[in-house]
Structure 1
Amino acid sequence: MDSVNNTKTALVTGANKGIGFAIARGLGAIGCTVAVGARDEAGREAAVEALRAAGVDAFGVALDVTSDASAAAAAASIERTAGRLDVLVNNAGIAGRTDGGAQDPTTLDLDVLRTVLDTNVFGAVRVTNAMLPLLRRAPSPRIVNMSSNMGSLTLQTGPIMAAYAPSKTLLNSITAQYARRLADTDIIVNAACPGYVATDFTGFNAPRTPEQGAAIAIRLATLPDDGPRGGFFDDEGAVPW
């Protein structure tokens, strides 16, 4: 690709619906070319079509965050299409099963815990490390990990979910490790809390819109070069964790 191309390319994982789609649309609205990362082909294509209809330059990227091979193939696809990556939003996440006490800590189903961690934590690591060579080519690369204040040891909000909540605690800790490791580079890494958003994830029973949830991710994805690193933020500012 042309090295003087100033259009930023952003990959949003789990971008076919909910907050991920709203983040993709918001980044597209400020001029980013958006790579819609999603496992489900039909959902991915529908999201790309909807984004293009809204005037966003978007393309689909097949991405299963639980697969090393899929993450590597996604990076190769983005390299062919854009040549570099300016923004990575690790949004793909699952709540995990809760039936039969699966996320009650006293009866915790370890298979549920493994499954949740594989997507919410290992998935973010897989995708980040696959994309780092492309991010290093960008002038002001940004990584945003979508977390939740349910992972805050200070706040301890939300229902007891002993797989999901710790997955977000671990994601925040990994975010801090990346920020420390990349402190002497241009890559700025932070975690975002979208708040309690009405999506299929919450049964659409929540006070905030996906657009409201997406706002903090978009802000962290477009931080200035002297912006904060390794933090956890929501609309109000830093979240204690």
Structure 2
Amino acid sequence: MLDRSKLTSGHSTSLNTAEEIAKFDRLAKEWRDPKGKFKQVLAFNQTRLIAIEKMIAQHLALDLNNPAPLAGLSLLDIGCGAGLLCEPLAELGADVTGIDASEHNILVANQHAKTNHISVNYIHCLASDLEDKSNRYDIVLNTEVIEHIADQQGLVDTCCRLLKPGGLLVMATLNRTVTSYIVGIIGAEYVMRYLPIGTHEWRFFVKPQEISAMLSKQGLETINVKGMTFNPFTKHWSVNRNTKVNYLLFATKSSDT
């Protein structure tokens, strides 16, 4: 959902003045206002989050009803944006690191986490900058990023390298279909204006089987693919088998890798 196509070298960031803090605090609140301009992003994220939590619990045999069910697990969110996935997963007990190519996104995310006393390690960097973190994370998220990247195999390879053996990789993107062009570009950008015009290029959309093939080169196995669809009448998102537009792909790294 977010445009992260303009990638830059990274470093940790912080706010130094009261004026800067106030500015990014306002932006953080805008991102999470259910009636604001990002309300559709929030609705999409909430539906996606529930599906991700359930799959993590299933893969690692966890009970989400327990307090802090993700305690002891390390999680990396590549392309974390404003931290919409990082924070709720951190609140479930995970040790969460969120990285993004946009310094602006990291400043917004970091300010919101500090204001709400949520422990997330936000870093302004690329996934490829984490060279010393091979086999480090139990869970790696890469959501709505790959459709903005030219070297898609390179991104997948990096995700695989960072994941622990036995860990779970979650990827989310848009399928390359006629339906996704109509809905994801014409509808979302030009008609409904949910996204800025030019956010996506259809040629960079990726079919689930293409991602699975990229993953298999690194020894990962796709274990589930779930579709996500938006009902324009009810304004609700749902998780189902329809992968013609948005989908979530879950893969695991062999313990022998």
TM normalised by structure 2 equals: 0.42
Which structure has greater strand proportion? 2
**The structure with more helix, counted as a fraction of residues:** 1
TM-score (structure 1 length as normaliser):
0.44
